[in-house]
Chain A
Amino acid sequence: MSTQPMDSGMETAEFAVGAEALTALDDGKPPATAGTRKWLRFRFLIRFQSLLGLVLVLFGGIIFSPRRNGEILFLSADNLANIVRSVSETGIIAVGMTFVIIAGGIDLSVGAVLGLSGVLVARLMIDWNYGTALAIIIVLIAGLLFGVLQGLVSNYMRIQAFIVTLAGLQLARGLARFISGDKFINISFGSGPKQAPSSFSVLGDRFGGVLPVSALVFLGVGIIGSVVLNTTRFGRHVFAVGGNERAARLSGINVRYVKIVTFAICGIAAALSGILDAGQLAFANPDSGTGYELTAIAAVVIGGTSLFGGEGTVVGTLAGALLLGSLNNILQLNNINSNLQLIVTATIIVLAAALQHLASRRRGT
C-alpha cells in the first residue's frame, strides 16, 4: 500500500493549522517538507557558526594586529599559546557545562568550585603532605561528588538546577574561604615542610617550551568531551533527555541518572580548572574563578548550544571559548580599553543567540 502524494500532503496541511502549530503560521511559512534540503544547508551554517566566527575573528586579528619588524604579533607562537592558555580554565569548564546544558540544565556553581578546588589542592599538598597525583585525584573526586550532590538535590527534591547550583555556588565559595582561612595560600615548590612537590609546578610549564600545559589539558578535555558526546550511548541519552525528557523516559532511559552524571562531569571539569589555576599561579585564591560560570555559559551559547537543551556540540563550545579569547587578545594588543572588550563580547553573545533563534524558527519548534 503506497501513500498517494495528495494524502500525505493533506496531513501536513491539517497538522500545520492544528492548535499546537499556530506559531508556524505566524511567520507565514508552510511547514517544513518542501524546504528540507534548504534547511539542511542552513543548519550546517548554524551548527558551525562559532567556527566561522572564530575564523572571522582570526582574520580580524591578522589585519588589526600591531607589527614589529614586519612580524605579525597576533600570529606569533607566543601570542597564540597565550590565547589558548587564557581560555583554558573557562574553556574546560565550558566543555563540562555543554553536557549540563544539552541535558536541559545549568550549573552556576562552577566558578566557586574552581576556587574551592584550588584551595583544596594547595592545602592537601602543603599542610597535609599529599603527593601531587593523589592530591589531584582527591580534588577531582571532590568535584565529582559536588556535582553529584547538586544533581541529587535537583532531581530528588525537584528543585530547578538554576536554584540548586546558585546555592551550590554559595556553598563552594564558603567552603573555599573556610578551608583557606580566607587567605591566599602561597605555593612554594620543593621537598621541605610546607612546600608542594615540585612535580606540581609542571602545570605552569610550557610543553616543548611553547605550548602551555594548561592549553594542552584544555584541548585534551575538549577532544574527550567531544568523543563522549558524539560516540557513546551516554552522549545520545544526554541529547534525548534535553530534547524531550518524557520521550527519553518512555524509551527506557534513566533520566535522573543521565542528569546527575552531567552535573558530575561539570563538577570534575571545574575541579580540574581549579587545580590548573593553582598550578599556574603558584598560589591558591579562595575567590578565584568568580564570574567564570558566566564566561563559560557565554562560550557554550556562542558555540551554538541551545539553552533549552537537546542540541549542541563540544567543538562549537571550544570554538566559542577560543573566539572570546582571541577577541580579547586583539583588543589587548591594540591597547583598547578593557571595558570596551566587555561591550564587544556582549554584542557577540547577542548575535550568536539571534542566529540560533533563526534556526529554531526554521525548524518550527
Chain B
Amino acid sequence: MEPNGAAPPLLEMQGISKAFGGVRALSGVDLTIRPGEVHALIGENGAGKSTLMNIMSGVIADYEGKMRLAGTEIRFSSPQGALKVGVATVFQELDLVPGLSVAHNLFLGQEPLRSGIFVDNSTMYQRAETVLQRIGGGISPRGIVGNLRLGQQQAVAIAKALAVGEPRILILDEPTAALSTHEVERLFEIIRLLRSRGVAIVFISHRLEEISQIGDRVTVLRDGQTVATVPASTRQDHLVSLLIGESLRALFPPAGTATSEDRLTLENFSYRPGRPSPDWQEPHDINLTVRAGEIVGLVGLLGAGRTELLQVLYGTAPPGLQSGSVKVDGRALRIGSPLAALRRGIGFVPDDRRGSGLVTTRSVAENLILADLKRLSTLGVVRAGRVREALRWGLPRLKIKAAGADAPILSLSGGNQQKVLIGRILLRQPDLLLLDEPTRGVDIGAKAEIYHLVRSLAAGGLAVLVASSELPELAGWCDRLVVLRQGRLIADLPPDTDPARVLALAGGTYTTQEP
C-alpha cells in the first residue's frame, strides 16, 4: 500500500552532508517525504539516523546540502524555527515537566493569559481537551504527567507538538524504544489517525517488525549514506541485508565449540518482585542451559524480559521471590547482590553505559579497575604496581584506544568506553558473562573487536549470555539463540534459523502465514 504515490514531495533533502570535527557522519544523503505517508528511517547504530533527524528538526543548523519544504528552499536555525513552518519533532527524551498537569505541559511557555498576566486556566484546559481529543486515548488534561504511564507520556509529547497547530511533518525519534507491546499498538493508532489527516510522519526505529506494521516507505541508512528507499512491505530478510550490508558478516569471528560442561542451568525458573510493575517483565518458567565455551543470544522484543532475566541473575532485580532452580557450576545460586554474583564468578555489563556503567568523573584506568580493587590492594591500600600490571594486561588485550590510561573516560568513543566496561568485569576473570546490548552506540569496527574478544574468551572456557535487540548481530555471533516472549522462553534455535521465523516467534504480531 502506498498512498499518495504520485503526490508532490512535502520535504526534499538533497546531498545532505555533515561532519563532526573532521569525521563524516553523513555524506550526500537524499530523502523525500510525501504528504500523508509514514516514512520509516532505519539504520544500525552509527549509521547517521540521529544526525539526519537533527538536521530535519532544526537541532543542527550547520550542514551541507539542500532542504526544500513544499518546493521552497529552507534552512532551519532551531527546532522552534522548524516548528513554525510545521515541522514538529518528538525527541526520545520527552521534554515534559513531570510535576505539571498535562494541560500545563501542552501549553508550556505559551499559556493563554487573562489581563496579560494571569494564566487563564479554564481556557487552557478547554483547549487542551480539544487537542487531546484529536489523538484519542482518554488522557485527562488535569492529570499530572509524572503519574502517567510512559506510553501516555509519549502521547502527551505528541499532543504538545499538535498544540501549536497541526504540523505538516511529525518526526518521531525511536518512539517505541521504551514502550510495552500494548502501548506500541496505541501509539500506532495515533500515527494512523494523523496520517489520515495528511500529516507526514518520519518514524525512526531500528525494529524491523514495526515497519511492516505502520510504515509506507522505508529509507535505509548505512555508514552515513542512503542505501535505498523501498516500500515498507519489503521482505524483512531483504531489509536486513540492506541494513548491515555484506561487510558486517565478515566481521563475525568463526563459531566456537561448546564443551559439555554446564555453567548456568535454569530449571522451571520464575521470579516475581515483591512489588510487581507493568514495566518490569517477570521471567516465567524458564529452562535454559549455558555451557562453558558457549555464547547464547537472548532474542526478544523490548519488554520480553531479556534485561530482566540478566538483572535477576546478577542480583540487581527488585527484591522478590524465585521459584524453580538456578545453578552455576552445579551449585545453587542465591539471588542476592552484584557483589554476591561477582563472588560466584558472574560478570554483568549493563546496557545503560552512561547511567549504570561509566564513572564519568574518573579516568580510563580508574574505570577499568573499579570492580577489581580488592585484588589490586593490600590491607586496603591500592598498589600502584599491581594497577600498572592490570592496565598492561587489559589495555592492549581489549584494544582500548585512549590518549593514555589517565585520560578522562568521556574523551573516549562509545566503542572504547564499552570496551573499558567489558574489561572492568573481565579483570575479575568471571566464568559466566552476562552482556546487555553490548554494542549499543558502538561503531562497526569496535563491534567486531567486541565480537572477537568475547569469542576468544569463550574459547578459553567462558560461558556468555548476551541480550541484544539486533537480531543479525546475535545470529552472526552466537552459538544458540533463545527466544523470549512475555517473560517465557519459547524457543531454542540454531543461529542460522531464518530471521523471519525468529522474529515471528519473538513478536507474535508478525506472522508468515498472513495472506
Contacts and interface: CB of A to CB of B under 8 A. Distances in A.
B441 interface: yes
B109 interface: no
Contacts of B135: none
Nearest to A11: B443
A250 B338 contact: yes
Nearest to A13: B25
A10 to B, nearest CB: 5
A30 B21 contact: yes
A40 B410 CA distance: 12
Q: Which of B19, B25, B92 gathers most chain A CB within 10 Å? A: B25
B445 A244 contact: no
A251 B373 CA distance: 10
Interface residues of B, number: 76
Give the dominant DSSP class at B's interface.
Answer: mixed
Interface residues of A, number: 59
Contacts of B444: 7, 10
Given A12-B20, A239-B362, A250-B350, A36 B59 contact: no
A226 to B, nearest CB: 13
B358 interface: yes
Interface string A27-59: 000111110110110010000000000000000
Given A8-B446, A10-B23, A33-B21, A240 B370 contact: yes
A43 to B, nearest CB: 7
B30 interface: no
A232 to B, nearest CB: 5
Q: Which of A4, A33, A253 gathers most chain B CB within 10 Å? A: A33
Contact of B51 (A13, A30, A249, A311): A13
Contact of A234 (B59, B223, B380, B414): B380
B381 interface: yes
A224 interface: no
Contact of A363 (B46, B357, B410, B413): B410
B367 to A, nearest CB: 8
A257 B327 CA distance: 29
A248 B361 CA distance: 13
Interface in B9-57: 18-25, 45-51, 54
Interface in A191-209: none
A237 interface: yes
A36 B442 CA distance: 20
A251 B356 CA distance: 10
Contacts of B380: 232-234
A67 interface: no
Contacts of A239: 359, 361-362, 366
Contact of B443 (A10, A310, A311): A10
B433 to A, nearest CB: 14
A282 to B, nearest CB: 39
A243 B360 contact: yes
A42 B346 CA distance: 40
B65 interface: no
A17 interface: yes
Q: Which of B369, B406, B408 gathers most chain A CB within 10 Å? A: B408
A36 B407 contact: yes
Interface in A1-34: 1-4, 6-20, 22, 25, 30-34
B207 interface: no
Q: Which of B224, B338, B410 gathers most chain A CB within 10 Å? A: B410
Q: Which of A3, A13, A242 gathers most chain B CB within 10 Å? A: A13
Nearest to A240: B359
Interface in B263-295: none
A183 interface: no
Contact of A251 (B24, B371, B413): B371
Contacts of A306: 361
B224 A10 contact: yes
B321 interface: no
B193 interface: no
A256 to B, nearest CB: 11
A357 interface: no
B443 A37 contact: no
A32 B361 contact: no
A135 to B, nearest CB: 29
A231 interface: yes
A310 B406 CA distance: 16
B448 interface: yes
Contact of B46 (A11, A25, A32, A254): A11
A30 B60 CA distance: 12
B92 to A, nearest CB: 4
Contacts of A13: 18-20, 23-25, 48, 51
B411 A17 contact: no
Q: Which of A39, A240, A247 gathers most chain B CB within 10 Å? A: A247
A348 B403 CA distance: 34
B415 interface: yes
A244 B360 contact: yes
A22 B416 CA distance: 21
A9 B416 CA distance: 12
A267 to B, nearest CB: 20
B360 A9 contact: no
A174 interface: no
A70 interface: no
B374 interface: yes
Given A9-B22, A31-B20, A247-B356, A1 B224 contact: no
B50 A33 contact: no
A12 B25 CA distance: 9
A31 to B, nearest CB: 7
Contacts of A237: 373
Given A3-B443, A233-B374, A252-B371, A15 B360 contact: no
B377 A251 contact: no
A15 B45 CA distance: 9
B410 A10 contact: no
B382 A10 contact: no
A40 B401 contact: no
A277 B373 CA distance: 39
A238 to B, nearest CB: 11
A8 B443 contact: yes
Given A34-B21, A36-B403, A8 B413 contact: yes
A34 B408 contact: no
B125 interface: no
A364 interface: yes
Contacts of A43: 408
A163 B261 CA distance: 53
B339 interface: yes
A365 interface: yes
B392 to A, nearest CB: 19
A249 B338 contact: yes
B361 A1 contact: no
Contacts of B91: 19, 22
Contacts of B373: 233, 236-237
Contacts of B362: 239-240, 243, 310-311
Nearest 10 CB-CB pairings of A with B: A11-B443, A9-B23, A3-B445, A310-B361, A30-B21, A13-B25, A243-B359, A251-B371, A7-B445, A32-B411
Given A10-B48, A11-B441, A244-B357, 11 more contacts: A1-B251, A8-B401, A13-B25, A14-B45, A19-B91, A25-B60, A239-B359, A240-B359, A244-B355, A250-B314, A250-B356
8 contacts: A9-B23, A10-B443, A12-B414, A32-B410, A36-B407, A39-B408, A246-B350, A250-B350
Interface of A: 1-4, 6-20, 22, 25, 30-34, 36-37, 39-40, 43, 231-237, 239-240, 242-244, 246-254, 306, 309-311, 363-365
